[in-house]
Amino acid sequence: MLEVEGVSKYFISDGSKLEVIREISFSLREGEFVSIVGPSGCGKSTLLRMIAGIERPSSGRITFYGKEISSPDPRISMIFQSFALVPWLKVIEQVELPLRARGVENAKEIARKWLNLVGLSEFEEFLPKELSGGMRQRVGIARALAVEPSLLLMDEPFSSLDELTAETLRHEIIELWKSTPSLKSILMVTHNIEEAVLMSDRIVVLSRRPSVVLKIVNIDMPRPRNRRDEKFYDEVDEIYSLLS
């Protein structure tokens, strides 16, 4: 469904060219969970933003169901590392906002339904600052899924949460994905290798800047995965050795 073909990106700063991404290609099929891992500053997030349509590649192309992405596509949704909640909107309004942007009639009901699914029905009238980090990201998840995307992008979704909360949310995301037929695939950017191995079907490993694809690792393990499995460790070790 998603094709990234020979994408490069550079920024011009102070007259000199800073190349961030060089000739990256990979594809994402329906029903897949793919992660992008790489050292910090390697342009993973930039890549994700180009797929979201809020940044343009300097060269190469990204197509979604055969159509080149040049602006945000309504079938693609995103979860942010910093949650990106609007500080002055109540929880229910946060989820309603994208729905109302699309002119959905019963925005409130749909928002309620998703808040219920992420376990926040009691908190509809709360402001973001009254919630814990985990709850904030749950609002982010409800908001991203309420618009019924076919592709969900996640930018370091668990890295600003404590480990216990993060682990719970990882499982919840997988559950929500499995139980939502309209949501075909998920693409996650992370620097947490174990998290990538735990969740994904394939992992795109990027190098240091200017980043190229070092390897695409297939993870053939049934879900739910156990971190204590020997196979799990082998995969983690393989990616570590690629990056170091």
Partner 1 sequence: MLFYLQLPIYALLSLLRMTLAYLISVLFSLSVGIMAGKYEKAEHIIIPLLDILQSIPILGFFPIAIIFFMNLFGYIGAEISSIFLIFTSQAWNMTFGVYEAVKLIPRDVDEMARVYGIGKLLYLRKILIPATMTKLIYNSAMSWGGGWFFLYASEVISVSNAQISLPGLGSLLALSLMETPPRVDMAVLSVVVIMFLVSFTYLFIWRPLIEWSENFKYEYSAGERKRIRLFEIPRVKIPPFLYRSFFRTLKYVRRSPIRDIMMKTGGFIGRKARSMRIAFTLLLAIFVVYAAVKTVLSITPESISSEYIREPFLVLMASLNSIRRVITVLLISLSWALPISILVGRGKHWNEFMLIFEIAASFPVPVLWPFLVRYIVLPLGEWGFEVAAIVLALFGAQFYVLFNSLAGLRSISSDLEEMRRVFLVKGPLYLRKILIPGMFPSIVTGLITAWGGAWNALIVAEYIKVGEEIFPRRKDQYGLGTLLSIAAWEKGDVSSVIFITAVLSLIIITINRTFWRFLYNYSTKFKVE
Residues that bind partner 1 (CB under 8 A): 49, 52-54, 72, 74, 76-78, 80, 82, 84, 86-89, 93, 97-98, 100-102, 129, 143, 147
- Least CB distance from residue 238 to partner 1, whole Å? 31
Please compute, for residue 188, the number of CA atoms within 13 A of its CA located in the half-sphere on the CB side.
28
- Least CB distance from residue 216 to partner 1, whole Å? 25
Residues listed for the chain: 244
Closest CA to 131 of 173, 174, 83: 83
What is the distance between the alpha carbons of residues 2 and 21, in angstroms, rounded to a whole number? 18
- Least CB distance from residue 28 to partner 1, whole Å? 17
What is the distance between the alpha carbons of residues 86 and 192, in angstroms, rounded to a whole number? 27
The smaller minimum CB distance to partner 1, of residues 103 and 224, is found at 103
- Least CB distance from residue 94 to partner 1, whole Å? 10
DSSP run (H or E) holding 92: helix 91-101
Q: Residues 147, 135, 181, CA angle at the centre, nearest 5°?
A: 35
The smaller minimum CB distance to partner 1, of residues 147 and 213, is found at 147
The smaller minimum CB distance to partner 1, of residues 53 and 134, is found at 53
Quick check: bond before 74 cis, omega within 30? no
The smaller minimum CB distance to partner 1, of residues 135 and 239, is found at 135
- Least CB distance from residue 72 to partner 1, whole Å? 5
Closest CA to 117 of 173, 183, 187, 195: 173
The smaller minimum CB distance to partner 1, of residues 103 and 222, is found at 103
